[in-house]
Amino acid sequence: MHVAVLGATGAVGRTMLEVLAERAFPLDHLTLLASPRSAGTRLSCGGREVTVSAPHARCFEGVDLALFSAGADRSREWAPRAVHAGAVVVDNSSAWRMDPDVPLVVPEVNPEALRNLPKGIVANPNCSTIQVVVALQPLHRAGGLERVVLTTFQSVSGAGESGLEALRRELARSPGAESPFTRAIAGNALPQIGEFDDEGWTAEERKMMAEPRKILGLPRLRIAPTCVRVPVEVGHAVEIMLELERDLPRAEAARALAEAPGVVFVDDPDSFPTPAEIAGRDEVFVGRLRADPGVPRAFHLWVVADNLRKGAATNAVQIAERIANG
């Protein structure tokens, strides 16, 4: 296959190149694209060196599959052109996620959505959404989801290379370019990811309300998220409280999670997963399963995943594998 990666020099794009190589994706030809600033940079993917170029009118000619991770504006501009040139686009940005003609896919949860690609575009969900739906789906199957309240603890790499640089610079107390965060992030916790709307919710929280409903096929699911940026380099953690429609003994909830695809369920409380320990892994780690002491049919969970891998690159490459295999 001829694969193009738009945003190849970014935090997600570089991880995509690693994941494509690790999983021995069938690559005959690789085109790497980034901003004009990076044109001429050489990147490697599984021993193959490729020179990065800026996108141009004919850059998607002959491309079968285009993996996009260069932000929503670039996706809106370039995805229709890539599709017109004959490629299927797997897009990591928020540009197409809520378009009814674009499936929003987590392969462990709703792979059937890939059967129909009216626009030739598949959207990869938000990084926190992915780990949340992978953990929620088995419990929904077992007991029917009624309501979800969650709090995220999201690493700085969720804001890309500039987020990582801002944390490292603040820790080193060295002045530098602008930070993507509205306050200091070192030694801090910021309950703001994206702009606030008129009702006081952030853009990230709105994504976390809308995207799980679409992926799980539950348009009326009640979800109340609070999204928090924390000074961790890689790996998002989420505390989830969920209420079910039907009674479910804790042991059955534990079994549903232990058997779920893509989940590593940790039932020993002392072995709770943390971002630092699971960074570099592709699975979603779930621990601290507790029945709520006061609310019937409710559980609490602690869910951790590598936002650059399962939260972005690995999920996109898993989608690409399914497309490549027809």
Ligand X SMILES: NC(=O)c1ccc[n+]([C@@H]2O[C@H](COP(=O)([O-])OP(=O)(O)OC[C@H]3O[C@@H](n4cnc5c(N)ncnc54)[C@H](OP(=O)(O)O)[C@@H]3O)[C@@H](O)[C@H]2O)c1
Footprint of ligand X on this chain (CB under 6 A)?
Answer: 7-13, 34-35, 37-38, 55, 69-72, 74, 92-93, 127, 157-158, 160-162, 307-308, 311-312
* Least distance in angstroms from the C-beta of 70 to ligand X: 3
Catalytic residue among 45, 59, 127, 227: 127
User: In this complex, which beta carbon is closest to ligand X, that of residue 161 or of residue 233?
Assistant: 161
What residue is closest to ligand X based on CB?
A: 10
* Least distance in angstroms from the C-beta of 299 to ligand X: 26
> Catalytic: 127?
yes
* Least distance in angstroms from the C-beta of 92 to ligand X: 4
Q: Give SS3 for 326.
A: coil
Cα–Cα distance for residue pair 43/50, rounded to 1 Å: 6
Cα–Cα distance for residue pair 105/110, rounded to 1 Å: 6
User: In this complex, which beta carbon is closest to ligand X, that of residue 137 or of residue 315?
Assistant: 315
* Least distance in angstroms from the C-beta of 219 to ligand X: 23
Cα–Cα distance for residue pair 307/26, rounded to 1 Å: 24
Cα–Cα distance for residue pair 213/202, rounded to 1 Å: 18
Cα–Cα distance for residue pair 288/245, rounded to 1 Å: 21
Residue 91: which of 6, 32, 22, 183 has the closest Cα? Answer: 6
User: In this complex, which beta carbon is closest to ligand X, that of residue 102 or of residue 308?
Assistant: 308
Catalytic residue among 45, 140, 227, 236: 236
Cα–Cα distance for residue pair 202/189, rounded to 1 Å: 15
User: In this complex, which beta carbon is closest to ligand X, that of residue 140 or of residue 309?
Assistant: 309
C-alpha distance across the termini of the chain, in Å: 13
User: In this complex, which beta carbon is closest to ligand X, that of residue 108 or of residue 243?
Assistant: 108
Cα–Cα distance for residue pair 73/291, rounded to 1 Å: 43
Cα–Cα distance for residue pair 6/17, rounded to 1 Å: 11
**Exposed, middle or buried: residue 15 (CB in 10 Å: 0-12, 13-18, 19+)?**
buried
Q: 106 φ, ψ to 5°?
A: -120, 110
* Least distance in angstroms from the C-beta of 206 to ligand X: 14
Residue type for position 22? E
* Least distance in angstroms from the C-beta of 237 to ligand X: 13
User: In this complex, which beta carbon is closest to ligand X, that of residue 41 or of residue 226?
Assistant: 41
For the annotated catalytic residues, the residue numbers are: 127, 236
